[in-house]
Amino acid sequence: MARLVVLGGGVSGHTAATFAAKWLGSAHEVVVVTPNAKWNWIPSNIWVGVGEMSKEEVTFDLAPVYAKAGIIYHQAKALGIHPEGNETSDKPYVVVESTEAGKVGKIENIEYDYLINATGPKLNFAATPGLGDANGLGEFTVSVCTADHAVHASHELQKCIEKMRKGERQKFLVGTGHGMCTCQGAAFEYIFNIEHELNKAGVRNMADLKWISNESFLGDFGVGGLHMNTMGFAVSSKIFAESLYTERNIDWVIGAHVNKVEAGKAHYELLDGTMGEESFDFAMLIPPFAGVGLKAISKTGEDITTTVFAPNGFMKVDANYNAGSYENWKASDWPKTYQNPTYKNMFACGIAFAPPHPISKPMSSPNGTPITPTPPRTGMPSGIMGKVVAQSVCDRILHGADAPLHEASMAHMGAACVASAGKGLFTGTAAAMTIYPVVPDFEKYPGTGRDLDYTFGEIGLAGHWIKHILHHLFIWKAKLKPGWTLIPE
Amino acid sequence: MEKKPEHNIKAYGNNFTTMTPGPFAVKMRTCVIWQFLRFLAINIKMIVVVRKSH
């Protein structure tokens, strides 16, 4: 009997674990280690953050789902990986610390034959003074990164709406809270959902909304922007984004590294090296992501973390980490199998794998401050990676250690993305986009780096319907309800 | 006078060079019949990309 241990129960980890359990059956063990008791459909957190959904609608308990799937579930956080075992055993294992009520802090070793690292990110609020600290979100801003954060954000938003109803003008600042953030899309959705809600509440004329982000141009989204095939033109996402911001009367500051937050004020540095500050009554600034801080220890007890993990804490995989400057980047730099190069029974997927480099062109201010979006690895690509890695591991367990690995490079995969711009059955809108491939391949697709036959975008009510349907579809899939395998990642 | 999207443009400001939708384009975004057709079209396009990516 072989044992697969999956670290993390988010989109990528949950997909990997549930498919592996299905393919391996009861002859082998699948173990999931995740500190969370609940699964969260994160894309809908923005609706929780404006009070249009409850926390219960975007989360569910993991334990009964894993019990149904025959998955062994440890509510715990992984602390370290011992890929060579220890001095008394060659069997690799992970050290975990329980987060389950009644067992908090209990340390346990879990042996494995194969390991999938899908821990997701640490929300690094501490990277920006005032945005938060090592314990999480600070007191000056809100977040929609978790369902609990989104509930808090909704309460704060309602307070602002009440103030506006009483005649007090309010300023909203939404975007990224550091020069190296990703997930601009979530902030994009949130600012437009706030705008939509303020309109519904009849207080839009009492609000000033401002976008602040580390993108060098609006519509970069961490993927270097995209050109879409629209009305016979290859139109840049910059045009689309600037048009939408203008239409909804939202001003913007871009190329900004927020370097300090205090009560009612965010300080930032721009790509041209100038410093500025922006006041706010309500701010939602996405924190940068980092690895969760896993350690790797050799058989002799030596710290080999730098062998297994990149400096940002994400696990090294089969990527080209020596690509050098932007001019030398190639689509082939991106990993295909997500296998760790040193320990072949370890894989990393979703946000947990270390990308070879950003997708957007790296930039920094004259002061040397890097201000560049880091590459997104969430949503559809994250799910596909999880499934492909599970396929590889299952093949090796069932057909031998030499079974070929499956591939899913972000340079060969597309993504369907639906970004909400307001919720409502007949009044909602969302930007529905596809992008192919996620990582531009300028050799194969000269100019734009993408295949314009499969890269498009438009905004409208149809996009909102799709996003709402996807909300229910993916929760159905994650709960392993009948037909779940038919729903694509 | 009804406020149109182009009224938000500020001369020589951030958004001076962008395009803005006219009233017809804005209306069609929430026109149920048109959006139902777009719903079908977008779904087909997305399914094609999803199939290419698996």
Distance from CA of B1 to the nearest CA of A (A): 15
Q: How many domains is chain A partitioned into structurally?
A: 1
Percent of chain A surpassing pLDDT 70: 100
Q: What confidence tier does A132 reach under pLDDT thresholds 50, 70, 90? A: very high
Distance from CA of B26 to the nearest CA of A (A): 9
Tokens 């780096």, located at residue: A449
Q: Which of B5, B35, B50 is opposite residue A462, by nearest beta carbon?
A: B35
Q: A459 contacts in B (CB within 8 Å)?
A: 29
Q: What is the CA radius of gyration of chain B?
A: 17
Give DSSP secondary structure letters for A448-467.
Answer: TSS-TTS-EEEEEHHHHHHH
Closest-approach residue (CA) in chain A for B16:
A246
Closest-approach residue (CA) in chain B for A407:
B54
B26: contact with A, CB 8 A cutoff = yes
Contacts of B1 (CB under 8 A, 6+ apart): none
Rounded (10°) CA dihedral A42, A43, A49, A53: -90
C-beta atoms of B49 and A416 within 8 A = yes
Q: Which of B8, B21, B35 is opposite residue A249, by nearest beta carbon?
A: B8
C-beta atoms of A462 and B38 within 8 A = yes
Is the preceding peptide bond at A366 cis, omega within 30 degrees of 0?
A: no
C-beta atoms of B53 and A466 within 8 A = no
**Beta-bridge mates of residue A266:** A261, A278
What ipTM describes this predicted complex?
0.95
Tokens 């400001």, located at residue: B13
Q: A215 contacts in B (CB within 8 Å)?
A: none
Q: Tell me the C-alpha to C-alpha distance, in Å, between residue A488 and each of A358, A379, B15.
A: 27, 12, 39
- Residue B1 predicted with pLDDT over 70: no
Helices within A146-210 (DSSP H only): 147-165, 184-200
Distance from CA of B44 to the nearest CA of A (A): 11
Q: CB under 8 Å, gap of 24 or more: what pairs does A135-140 form?
A: A138/A261, A140/A261, A140/A262, A140/A263, A140/A264, A140/A283
pLDDT (average), residues A269-285: 98
B30: contact with A, CB 8 A cutoff = yes
pLDDT (average), residues A95-114: 96
Q: Which of A245, A414, A461 is opposite residue B49, by nearest beta carbon?
A: A414
CATH of residue A389's domain is: 3.50.50.60
pLDDT (average), residues A219-246: 94
Contacts of A470 (CB under 8 A, 6+ apart): A43, A418
B53: contact with A, CB 8 A cutoff = yes
C-beta atoms of A246 and B48 within 8 A = no
Q: A426 contacts in B (CB within 8 Å)?
A: 30, 32
Q: Average pLDDT, whole number, for chain A?
A: 96
Instruction: Give CA–CA dist A409/A337, Å, rounded.
Output: 7
- Residue A386 predicted with pLDDT over 70: yes
Distance from CA of A206 to the nearest CA of B (A): 15
Closest-approach residue (CA) in chain A for B42:
A432
C-beta atoms of A384 and B29 within 8 A = no
Instruction: Give CA–CA dist A416/A433, Å, rounded.
Output: 6
pLDDT (average), residues A90-113: 97
pLDDT for A324-356, tens place per residue? 999 999 999 999 999 999 999 999 999 999 999
* pLDDT the model gives residue A424: 97
Q: A415 contacts in B (CB within 8 Å)?
A: 49, 53
pLDDT for A357-371, tens place per residue? 999 999 999 999 999
Q: What's the token pair of residue B53?
A: 């990516």
Q: Which of B17, B32, B49 is opposite residue A426, by nearest beta carbon?
A: B32
- Residue B43 predicted with pLDDT over 90: yes
Within a domain: residue A368? yes
C-beta atoms of B49 and A239 within 8 A = no
Q: B42 contacts in A (CB within 8 Å)?
A: 432, 458, 462-463, 466
Distance from CA of A260 to the nearest CA of B (A): 24
